[in-house]
Amino acid sequence: MPLEQLLSSGIALPITRWGNPVLHHACQPVVKFDPDLWNLLCNMFATNTAADGAGLAAPQIGVDLAVFVYDCHDAFGRRRQGLVCNPRITLAVDPELETDHEGCLSLPGAYLPVARPNFAICRGQDQFGEPVTVKGTGMLARCLQHETDHLSGIVMEDHLTASERRALRRQHKRVAASYPDDWPVSPMLPR
């Protein structure tokens, strides 16, 4: 199924929250590039769109599979959309770190500065199993790293100090009631 179709069909699913075991272990590799995978990708794109996300990894909708989708801008303001199965991140030699606020759809409403390299190359496979390489700058670089982390069982707070983790959890706790358990299937509630 071509990317245009993956982007335009599918239904939003509830996003899995931090603490669920599927978010905290390495995912199974994608080995079948078939209509079941394409249906999953359609739903992942729909869920990411409904949540107004930059990217979404399969475990964030409860699926133990090494694939993510992305829909965000790079450092040049270009909108980039796509997916990567079985991703591997390669960083530039001596990359410059860029600190920016980062959040996670699986801990909605909480953001803290996280330093990440400002350029990343992500290699993997597309929806047909063919090799794919995505080079990212700016938000796209951050997204590629964040989503690949998810597939290794790493969540954003694993990059933070203990005090930063507590601050992130406090932020989330203040707004958690605005996010129904089935969000983004059900919209956010007023704060």
Is 147 known to be catalytic? Answer: yes
Q: Which of 102, 147, 157, 164 is catalytic?
A: 147
Cis, bond preceding 184 (omega within 30 deg of 0): yes
CA distances (Å), origin 174, targets 8, 37, 186: 34, 36, 19
Active site residues: 147
